[in-house]
Amino acid sequence: MSKQIAHFIGGELTHDTDARSGPVFNPSTGQEVARCVFGSRQTVDHAVKVAAEAAAKWGRASHAARLAVVFKLRDLVIANMDVLADAIGREHGKTIADAKGEIGRAIEGIEFACAAPHVTKGEYANNVGGDIEVFSMRRPIGVVGCITPFNFPIMVPAVMMTMAVAVGNSIVWKPSEKVPSAALEFARLWKEAGLPNGVFNVVQGDKEVVDAILEHPGIAGISFVGSTGVGEYVYQKGTSHNKRVAAFTGGKNHMVVMPDADLEAAASAFVSAGFGSSSQRCMAVSLLLPVGNETAERLRELIIPKIKALKVGPYDDATADFGAVVSKESKASVEKAIARCLEEGGEMVIDGRNIEIPGNPNGYYLGPTLFDRITADMQMYKEEVFGPVRGIMRPATFDEAIAITNSHEYGNGSVIFTRDGKSAHRFMMEVESGMIGVNVPVPLPTSYFNFGGLRRSKFGEGHLYGPDAARFYTKLKTVSQRWPEPDDGALPISLAFNPTA
């Protein structure tokens, strides 16, 4: 019998009586490794009640008390890196090295949460009139609902939730049902760090749990990372229930390469940014845009051997460059996208289908696949392919490359490789993406800068981390106060709108 993966509510593991459940697979082998218990509306209601009671006390705790827990969490994540990486790789399929890289970015987010007192400081003005002083302060919003994707089981929750906790909120978190174990490991570390019971809660489940979170009157804000269709649904439904919502969604990230660029460096950057983690990243480079046919031909010659040299293997194979995709359904979806591209006239340069991994015949493996001569009317341009399939487009000019980039509905990240400062500056100013890279393969900012795309890559005005995350998780209060002398007597009556002089 498969092990049961439970909820974590009020500091304890808990199962619903007669709950539905779903299988959890190891993508490297295709074998079922666990059953994930699915919560219900009643489970969410219980978790919110527990979280609200905990938030009332945690929100009044001092900055010092909160940050002591966050500091301890950082140390525990570092000490438990091997355990966390194995939990990620076993259910996601990414390599241990990639999982540890993810955890490293999670640690950055935890470290930035230690700056919560600084980024939530208010403003002050003395004697604005009539000895009145005005100041602002930020207070926690209460219970935060978090909904996270399968592709970053620790990094996204860490950067999303640690700041929310650091500024005094409590959490009700629904992780992806594909990778539920890492969530319980993270909850365990929060408890070991000294976080009071009830501040951090995990409710496993599917759409029923998502809807319950979006509709629950006790949840003040929603943070979501996932696909665009679901993210738009989360935003619309959550805001219709009067919640603040920040939803971070898909990307189709373009890499423009100018003729003057270091093409060897650009080729390596494209392969690294395009195929890492089986391309299951919203910040992965999807399309390569060499400017001019000569640049395209030279770059194609450089990237083909680099791609062919990539090794695909099980998550615990230290020599593998990337592993399986997350599920059988995901593999089928990627293969369908490949077939569609062939039908529409894409030139297949490297075919990664039908790859065989010795000892793992049932794993969800796809080798790296490369298409050339992608055009804007093809699905390979229009849709995000969450698997190791990348494409080359051939803009004749820099203007055309910018137009192709800006014509897409997504605006997560865009990259340019060039030696020319004017081209780089124009790219930064004109390209409509939330994150821009110049000679950088993946423009993922460090945790003390705001993360978020433009257009349909983000819904809502919040950001995933950086100073704006702290603002998203807090509400602003502005206080005007005056302390008269004991013998000043009563204020004179004035019906003027602003009697402060």
Q: Is the same domain home to 363 and 464? A: no
**Which residue type is seen at 200?**
F
* Total number of domains in the chain: 2
Residue 488 lies in a domain: no
| Separation between Cα atoms, residue 40 and residue 20, nearest integer Å | 9
Q: Is the same domain home to 229 and 260? A: no
CATH classification at residue 413:
3.40.309.10
Per-residue pLDDT at 494:
72
Burial of 485 (0-12, 13-18, 19+ CB in 10 A): exposed
Annotated catalytic sites, by residue? 282
Per-residue pLDDT at 17:
67
Q: Is the same domain home to 196 and 228? A: yes
**Which residue type is seen at 135?**
F
Residue 342: how many other CB atoms lie within 10 Å: 14
| Separation between Cα atoms, residue 183 and residue 92, nearest integer Å | 13
- The pTM of this model reads 0.93
Quickly tell me which residue has 């009556």 as its tokens: 493
Q: Is the same domain home to 206 and 311? A: no
| Separation between Cα atoms, residue 251 and residue 437, nearest integer Å | 14
Q: Which domain holds residue 324?
A: 253-438
CATH classification at residue 14:
3.40.605.10
Q: Is the same domain home to 242 and 281? A: no
Per-residue pLDDT at 149:
94
Q: What 8-state DSSP symbol labels residue 278?
A: G
| Separation between Cα atoms, residue 361 and residue 352, nearest integer Å | 15
Q: Is the same domain home to 161 and 260? A: no
- Taking a C-beta distance cutoff of 8 angstroms, is the pair 443, 436 a contact? yes
**In a structure prediction context, what are the per-residue pLDDT tens digits for the chain, which is 501 residues long?**
578 899 999 999 987 766 799 999 999 999 999 999 999 999 999 999 999 999 999 999 999 999 999 999 999 999 999 999 999 999 999 999 999 999 999 999 999 999 999 999 989 999 888 889 999 999 999 999 999 999 999 999 999 999 999 999 999 999 999 999 999 999 999 999 999 999 999 999 999 999 999 999 999 999 999 999 999 999 999 999 999 999 988 888 999 999 999 999 999 999 999 999 999 988 889 999 999 999 999 999 999 999 999 999 999 999 999 999 999 999 999 999 999 999 999 999 999 999 999 999 999 999 999 999 999 999 999 998 999 999 999 999 999 999 999 999 888 889 999 999 999 999 999 999 888 999 998 877 777 777 777 788 788 888 888 888 899 999 999 999 988 887 776 777 777 766 555
Instruction: For 15, list phi and psi in degrees, rounded to 5.
Output: -115, 145
Q: Is the same domain home to 303 and 335? A: yes
Per-residue pLDDT at 467:
86
User: Which two three-digit tokens encode residue 390?
Assistant: 């990348």
Residue 228 lies in a domain: yes
| Separation between Cα atoms, residue 448 and residue 442, nearest integer Å | 17
Per-residue pLDDT at 498:
65
**DSSP-derived pairing of the beta strands 200-202 and 170-174:** parallel
- Say which residues have a Cβ less than 8 Å from residue 401's Cβ, sequence separation at least 6: 254, 256, 289, 291, 395
Residue 231: how many other CB atoms lie within 10 Å: 25
Per-residue pLDDT at 1:
54
